[in-house]
Structure 1
Amino acid sequence: MSYLKNWWVTDYADDIFSYFLRKEKTGMTFRCRSPQLGERRRLVDMLRLVGERLQLGNTSVHLAVRLLDLFMDNHRVEVAHLSLVALGCLLLATKFEDRDLNVPHVPELHRLVPHCYPLRDYRAVEAILLEFFSWNLSLVTVAHFVEFLATRVLGRGDLVRGAELVGTASALTPPPDHPSTGPPPPTSGAQALRNALLERLQYFMDLALQDEQFMLHRPSVVACACVLAARSRLGVWPAWPAELSRLTGYSDASLLSCLHSLFR
């Protein structure tokens, strides 16, 4: 999906979002039955660390974790090879989601993780993964939905503890592809809130990524629950406005189960 650059701010963003909603209903079902779920947190932390160090996109890391979850759900992997499988998932996800320049090389991975594997092992595990997924890596993740929802995390008419915000219109305008080199303009109250919402949204995304129970929900539900959680925590009212309900098809009541899991 990397060829859809900044799709979430295009004229056809709503159509792509609707396509993602349909697509997430197809494909493999995660059943949380891997005998090695106890190793999952360590593997996810490793993938997140590598993603941060190599400045990979959220969609690459989330796709890697989703591939790993589905593969582990259907295989018993030797503990000594789990890290290799996880890194193989990251390599494939990055090739699919990121720019070619961002695809990590094996020596880069070896500098970041405590395990070193021969290049032939990476090639072998990539081949096994591709065969298992029938070469179809076009899986929708929480990060794909959040890309869209992040541009709508703050709306006109939103209130914070009953008060209107200053500068809401400018805060709702997406940043240009090539920002000016001059000094940044003063941050309005709305822009500061939007930045805080995006930080909190990232926090809840990371939280959901660490717990395999969130894989039992559809990615769109988790993404919407993360937005609802971020807005609720920062006192934005309504916490789930009618516009987001219309765009996503979810009421706030339908997100409560996932929301409670984020807050526990």
Structure 2
Amino acid sequence: MRDFMNKNSVFYLQREVWDDIKEYKENFKEVIKQRERNRIPFFHQSPQYPYRQHLVEYIKRVCMEKKLSYCCLHLCVYLLDIFMDNHSIIPERVLIIANVCLLIAAKFEESNMTIPKIADLNAAINNRYTLKEYQDLELIVLKFFHWYIMFPTAAHYTHYYMQAIITNEEVKDREGGVRALVYNLHEAVTEYLDQIINNIHYMQCYPPSKLAAAILAASRLEVGLSSWNEQLENLTDYKKEDIHEVLFILMVK
């Protein structure tokens, strides 16, 4: 699970394509901001909350084994959190809920070749359920979300913001060159993405765009850069002071 996003994701824009449609940048930013505003309110009322850490670790393990993207992982956990927040689920059913949310997220984020099969997901939990149970539950989850799961997560925004994470001036005379700098930034970003997915308050209490901006700022500090630059401010529409609170919380954990 080394990549933030699979190239088949609807949130993915190849660099060469992006360069050809610069005039549409503002429209694209507004589209994903609108999707962010469409996120379902979270009330911290899930009776299944004690199981969340186990479920997230399970989902992370499956994503790693199946080589699914961070965006798939984060979308799955978001769907799971919201669904559990609005339903009372018996403990024996929480694993199939997690599998169904992962299946839905993978269908949305991954290519047909990498979407896990129901049989494989079921085998991971000792073949507890039937194919019909998966199909019925998938329909229930999709109906709950009104067939709309185009929710950007911090992982989506992080991938989008990475294009502005460093400037040409910042890499001049940099010891080790730009390749080492980009590698270290990528490693720091992935560590923060792992950190936030374990904490439901990060996932649900902060706008994912602001959370992603704070992740990039924290990562920049870790590699010896200043936390913010004008390039990031222009792309994210966040000023340095806008992300200060989230940045502080990320770095003291």
Specify the TM-score bucket, using the shorter chain as the normaliser.
Answer: 0.7 to 0.9
Letter in 1 for 2:189: L
Compute the RMSD of aligned alpha carbons. 2.1
In the alignment of these two chains, the number of paired residues is: 239
Indicate whether 1:133 and 2:139 are aligned.
no
Q: Note the C-alpha offset of 1:61.
A: 1.1
Asked if the contact 2:47/2:89 (under 8 Å) is kept, the reply is: no
User: Which residue of the partner structure matches residue 58 of structure 1?
Assistant: 70
Give the Å deviation of 1:93: 0.8
1:221 aligns with 2:233: no
Task: Find the aligned partners of 2:179 and 2:229 in 1 and give their Cα distance.
Answer: 19
Letter in 1 for 2:165: V
Does the 8 A contact of 2:10 with 2:109 survive in 1? no
- Match 2:13 to one of 7, 15, 18: 7
Counterpart position of 1:244: 232
| 2:164–2:231 contact (8 Å) kept in structure 1 | no
Deviates more, 1:51-60 or 1:252-261: 252-261
The 5-angstrom pairing of residues 1-264 of structure 1 reads 2=8, 4=10, 6-7=12-13, 9=15, 10-11=18-19, 12=21, 14=25, 15-114=27-126, 116-158=128-170, 164-165=173-174, 188-214=176-202, 215-237=204-226, 239-263=227-251, 264=253
Cα distance change, pair 17–52 in 1 and its aligned pair in 2 (3 A): farther
- Residue in structure 2 matched with residue 181 of structure 1 by the alignment: none
State whether residues 92 and 126 of structure 1, in contact with CA within 8 Å, keep that contact through their aligned partners in structure 2: yes
1: CA distance, partners of 2:28 / 2:62: 29
Q: Please list the CA deviations of residues 41-83 of structure 1 after superposition, one character each: whole Å capped at 9, or x if unmatched.
A: 1111111111110011121111111111111111111111111
Task: Give the superposition deviation at 1:208.
Answer: 0.6
Kindly provide the amino acid, as one letter, of the partner of residue 217 in structure 2: L
Find the residue that maps to 1:199 and give its secondary structure: helix
Identical counterparts, % of pairs:
27
CA distance in 2, matches of 1:152, 1:243: 6
With the length of structure 1 as denominator, give the TM-score of the two structures: 0.84
Alignment-mate amino acid for residue 233 of structure 2: S
Moved more, 51-60 or 9-18: 9-18
Larger relative helix fraction = 2
TM-superposition CA deviations, 1:69-121 (whole Å, max 9, x none) = 11111111111111110110000111111111111112222443456322111
Most deviating of 4-13 and 131-140: 4-13
> Which residue of 2 is the match for residue 178 of structure 1?
none
